[in-house]
Amino acid sequence: MRIGSDLQMCVRFALLKVPPMISTDFLMEFRRATEAKWREKSIDPTIYGFQFQRGTRWIEGLSDEMVSEYEMVLRVRFPHDFKAFLREINGTDLPTLNVYGSCGEPPRESLGVYSYPRDIETVKARIDDIHPSRAEIAADLAAQGFDLPSEASLVPIFGHRYVVCTGDLNSSVVLSIVVNEVDAIVYGSSLQEYLEKEFLGDPI
């Protein structure tokens, strides 16, 4: 009976062209795989850009009450997938590190994946950063075939990656937005696709 129900759900999502909802099993495997990767991988001294430090781990997820509080603080309704993510994972514990390709520039630390409430001021600042450029961001995305609703909220998840929050709570598109030159692209058609692409490079 359960198999039939799961099959019907997959067929329905396929017909509607909507990605299946993110699952607890996926998030558990994602957590295991990323932490295993970070246990083994050291900082590459030849790379410019922020890297996860060896031994980085995910912070335990939020309670339902804390997820709701986060929504209230930002005055946003999160997509179902983002709420499921936050219940399992609430950011990373160590800062990322940029060694500037060992060119002699002093290394610099930055926040990893944002954690609530630890990084709330940074999250708010990231939201404020893109506000003046919303029209240009929407136009850039429209030229690529993506419609960014004017009422959509963009919530930072990591660096300049933003979860698109709309009235459709089943949608969890992730955008990459560079504000200074107004460069915006769809980085993941769903939160799951984004997580696999950003942190693992391959689907689980």
Domains of the chain and any CATH numbers? 25-200 (3.40.1580)
Average pLDDT over residues 9-19: 44
How confident is residue 20, by pLDDT bands cut at 50, 70 and 90? low
How confident is residue 13, by pLDDT bands cut at 50, 70 and 90? very low
pLDDT greater than 80 at residue 15: no
Q: 96: which 2 tokens?
A: 């990322």
pLDDT in tens, 149-170: 999 999 999 999 999 999 999 9
The reported pLDDT for the residue numbered 130 is: 96
The reported pLDDT for the residue numbered 5 is: 44
pLDDT in tens, 77-100: 999 999 999 999 999 999 999 999
- Strands (E) in the chain, as ranges, are 58-60, 89-92, 96-98, 108-110, 153-158, 161-165, 174-178, 183-188
Q: Name residue 110's beta-bridge partners.
A: 96
pLDDT in tens, 116-125: 999 999 999 9
Q: What is the pTM of this model?
A: 0.87
Work out the percent of the chain whose per-residue pLDDT is above 90.
84
pLDDT greater than 70 at residue 23: yes
Neighbours of 86 (CB within 10 A): 22
How confident is residue 10, by pLDDT bands cut at 50, 70 and 90? very low
Work out the percent of the chain whose per-residue pLDDT is above 70.
90
Cα distances from 13 to residues 80, 81, 123, 169, in angstroms, run 15, 15, 32, 14
pLDDT greater than 80 at residue 14: no
The reported pLDDT for the residue numbered 50 is: 93
pLDDT greater than 90 at residue 3: no
Cα 65 to the chain's mean position, in Å? 21
Mean pLDDT (the chain, rounded): 91
pLDDT greater than 90 at residue 175: yes
